[in-house]
Homo-oligomer: A and B are copies of this chain.
Amino acid sequence: MGQAGCKGLYQSLFDYKTEKYVIAKNKKVGLLYRLLQVSILTYLVVWVFLVKKCYQDTDTSLQSSIITKVKGVTFTNTSELGERLWDVADYVIPPQGENVFFVITNLVVTPNQRQETCAESESIPDALCYEDSDCPPGEPVVAGNGVRTGRCLWAGSEQKGTCEIFAWCPVETKSRPAKPLLGKAEDFTVYIKNFIRFPKFNFSKTNVLDTTDRAFLKSCKFGPKDPYCPIFRLGSVVSWTGSSFQEIAVQGGVIGIQIEWDCDLDRAPSECYPRYYFNRLDNRFSENSLSSGYNFRFAKYYRDAAGVELRTLFKAYGIRFDVMVNGKGSFFCDLVLIYFIKKSHFYRDKKYEEVRDLEVLARMAESSQQSGPGPAGLAEQPEVQDGVGAQENGCVCRQLLQPASITR
């Protein structure tokens, strides 16, 4: 340590250095000083321990599984489909009941499409033609439905026509109904089962009330009255996001349902319950029709009596629900902390003793030295830093036990 000679180094190796302290025997200054100490201690005890509960260990690696089940039927009567009843197997896509599910609310149906030739839709700019040479055969129509055959078709007596295409014919030409086909989906319900597990504490729980009243789940609806009933009316969920169901039903949208678990596992398991948040997750304020709403196309494939394939194309508008789960569980870490806290007091006392010994030694060595209880500042400081460290990390325990766990 340093450039001192070998002997001097050895001599100074066993020296004990400590800071020198001034003691002001003045009650006013002393009171102020003690008040400062007390306020730091109070901060530590009240904020870090009681409010922030920083003696707890936290598990943020939540395991979660979501099972969703939509219920409801509705009846429609349209020219394409005739009288028709819609049940869950018809309007929920995909059917598996995972955390993301879609409920059809509006439809453009193009039935009985076959692989043949027909005129491209007039709404597609690239398909317009004046003569056959405008329709190079084999070339697909940009943003269109098929491949050009080489002919230009004139509907009626107009000068302008559209290219003939090989495609699933007839092509989709109808536009979106202004009134949602399945507007009554507002009254459908969805049962969201959420099972969570904190692997670190081997604690698991569901959002379904543990009740012996079997009728409860058959009749309840989530709301301010029943916050523990995980059965949600679709119309209510949409309204909680600040949107109108009939509006979103026309052109579709995306709704986020967030389930948050913030569990203090020191308490009874019944006090670990989820909170739900509802948000609209599509850009509803956009004027641009290309970037608002939610829709997609799918088809059902059939074969006719002759074995030729045909399909019914659906352009489905509706609401996609994204159920997201997050949370953390905290738990009194264990006795290590208490031990540590006691130890630190013990350790400090020890330090004081040593210092007192030191004082004696120091006095004996040089009686001109200023006396004092020793490196109190040094002893106090680590405690304050513990507080700061605890505050920085959110928890003393984590700092003590799993220093690396926050990297997750």
Contact = CB atoms under 8 A, between A and B. Distances in A.
Interface of A: 1-4, 12-27, 29-34, 52, 54, 58, 60-61, 63-65, 67, 69, 71-75, 82-85, 87-90, 93-98, 100, 102, 115, 138, 140-141, 143-147, 166-168, 191, 193, 195, 197, 199, 204, 206, 208, 210-212, 214, 217-218, 254, 256, 258, 279, 281-283, 286-291, 294, 296-305, 307, 311, 313, 320, 322, 324, 326, 328, 349, 352-354, 356-358, 361-362, 365-366, 368-370, 372-373, 376-378, 385, 388-389, 391-395, 398-399, 403-408
B377 A19 contact: yes
B395 A393 contact: no
A83 B195 contact: no
A32 B13 CA distance: 11
Nearest to A380: B17
The CB with the most chain B CB atoms within 10 A, among A12, A73, A138, A206, is that of: A73
A286 B23 contact: no
A140 B60 CA distance: 44
Contacts of A30: 13-16
9 tightest Cβ-Cβ pairs between the two chains A and B = A14-B30, A394-B404, A65-B281, A95-B298, A20-B20, A391-B403, A89-B299, A16-B33, A16-B24
Contact of A75 (B12, B54, B138, B366): B138
A357 B29 contact: yes
Nearest to A302: B303
A24 B20 contact: no
Contact of A83 (B24, B74, B115, B197): B115
A145 B87 CA distance: 7
A97 B252 CA distance: 13
B20 A19 contact: yes
A289 B110 CA distance: 41
Given A67-B294, A193-B291, A279-B197, A146 B407 contact: no
A320 B96 contact: yes
Nearest to A403: B391
A23 B34 contact: no
B282 A65 contact: yes
A92 B97 CA distance: 15
A25 to B, nearest CB: 6
A208 B291 contact: yes
Given A197-B281, A283-B195, A147 B296 contact: no
Nearest to A378: B377
Contacts of A21: 17-20
A322 B279 contact: no
Nearest to A208: B291
Given A16-B29, A25-B365, A61-B326, 18 more contacts: A2-B356, A17-B21, A18-B24, A73-B140, A73-B145, A85-B168, A87-B145, A89-B297, A94-B96, A95-B296, A95-B298, A97-B294, A191-B290, A214-B288, A385-B385, A385-B388, A392-B403, A395-B404
A16 B370 CA distance: 13
A223 B404 CA distance: 30
B90 A299 contact: yes
B407 A403 contact: no
A274 B146 CA distance: 34
A318 B87 CA distance: 21
A401 B405 CA distance: 19
A26 B12 CA distance: 10
B24 A15 contact: yes
A133 to B, nearest CB: 20
Contacts of A258: 63
A376 to B, nearest CB: 5
A317 to B, nearest CB: 12
A100 B167 CA distance: 27
A301 B82 CA distance: 17
